[in-house]
Chain A
Amino acid sequence: LAKTTQPISMDSYEGQEVNITCSHNNIATNDYITWYQQFPSQGPRFIIQGYKTKVTNEVASLFIPADRKSSTLSLPRVSLSDTAVYYCLVGDIRDNYGQNFVFGPGTRLSVLP
């Protein structure tokens, strides 16, 4: 099972672009990369998912290099409401009994005015 490593915390200012990188050196061929956002006392919320290259949706972009050993979540023009913990999760698409869903410690993003 791929283990992930992210920065523990990051600070940014309103209006800036924020890039959070996740390392997953042991990612397997069938693994997808998924990012979640969590506010205090709330459940994590799905942000974006990808397998390779670049994925973009209405809230974020996800960049995955060719070797897939890392991924970068990009949040354009952050606001104060983007202050949260961001988790990178790497999972296997196979129907594999015993597969764990391992959330790392996440990255605590603080957006300052």
Chain B
Amino acid sequence: DSGVTQTPKHLITATGQRVTLRCSPRSGDLSVYWYQQSLDQGLQFLIQYYNGEERAKGNILERFSAQQFPDLHSELNLSSLELGDSALYFCASSDNGHDNQPQHFGDGTRLSIL
């Protein structure tokens, strides 16, 4: 158990809809990362937050957004969903957000777009 909690575990929705994925980091960790993993793309870094502030941005679409709240949990919002957004979405956390710090991953949210 990594200590990172993601909800929901599974999500099924239709094209054009909007969903919110939630992540609770390990106790004491200040940094949260979001990744997308699809069969043909591997693990793609989306965005990182540190103590409520955006720290780094990767291949995140404009239809996607994220935030980190004062209690350090984070949400990833996906809107105008397309079939290609079907994937596993992972959240990870680390203590101080420096790139050399090991990241601890949750078990992901599996998003299926019908």
Minimum C-beta distance from B111 to chain A (A): 13
Instruction: Tell me, yes or no, whether A42 is within 8 Å of chain B by CB.
Output: yes
Minimum C-beta distance from B25 to chain A (A): 13
Tell whether, in the assembled complex, residue A46 and residue B4 are in contact, meaning their CB atoms are under 8 Å apart.
Answer: no
Minimum C-beta distance from B40 to chain A (A): 10
Instruction: Tell me, yes or no, whether B16 is within 8 Å of chain A by CB.
Output: no
Tell whether, in the assembled complex, residue B45 and residue A103 are in contact, meaning their CB atoms are under 8 Å apart.
Answer: yes
Residue among A32, A45, A101, A102 making CB contact with B33, cutoff 8 Å: A101
Tell whether, in the assembled complex, residue B99 and residue A101 are in contact, meaning their CB atoms are under 8 Å apart.
Answer: yes
Which residues of B have CB within 8 Å of A45?
A: 2, 105
Which residues of A have CB within 8 Å of B103?
A: 44, 46, 101
Rounded to whole angstroms, the CA-CA distance of A49 and B110 in the bound complex is: 28
Tell whether, in the assembled complex, residue B99 and residue A94 are in contact, meaning their CB atoms are under 8 Å apart.
Answer: yes
Instruction: Tell me, yes or no, whether B56 is within 8 Å of chain A by CB.
Output: yes
Tell whether, in the assembled complex, residue B102 and residue A49 are in contact, meaning their CB atoms are under 8 Å apart.
Answer: yes
- Which interface residue of B2, B55, B99 has the most chain A CB atoms within 10 A? B99
Residue among B4, B43, B55, B88 making CB contact with A103, cutoff 8 Å: B43
Residue among A87, A93, A96 making CB contact with B43, cutoff 8 Å: A87
Measured CB to CB, the residues of B under 8 A from A are: 2, 4, 33, 35, 42-45, 48, 55-58, 88, 90, 92, 97-100, 102-108, 110
Top 7 nearest A-B pairs (CB, nearest first) are A43-B105, A91-B99, A32-B100, A103-B43, A46-B102, A93-B100, A101-B45
13 contacts between A and B (CB under 8 A): A32-B99, A42-B108, A43-B4, A43-B92, A43-B105, A44-B43, A44-B90, A46-B103, A49-B100, A92-B99, A101-B45, A101-B103, A104-B42
List 6 extra interface pairs beyond A43-B105, A97-B56, A99-B99, CB under 8 A.
A42-B108, A45-B2, A91-B99, A92-B99, A96-B56, A103-B44
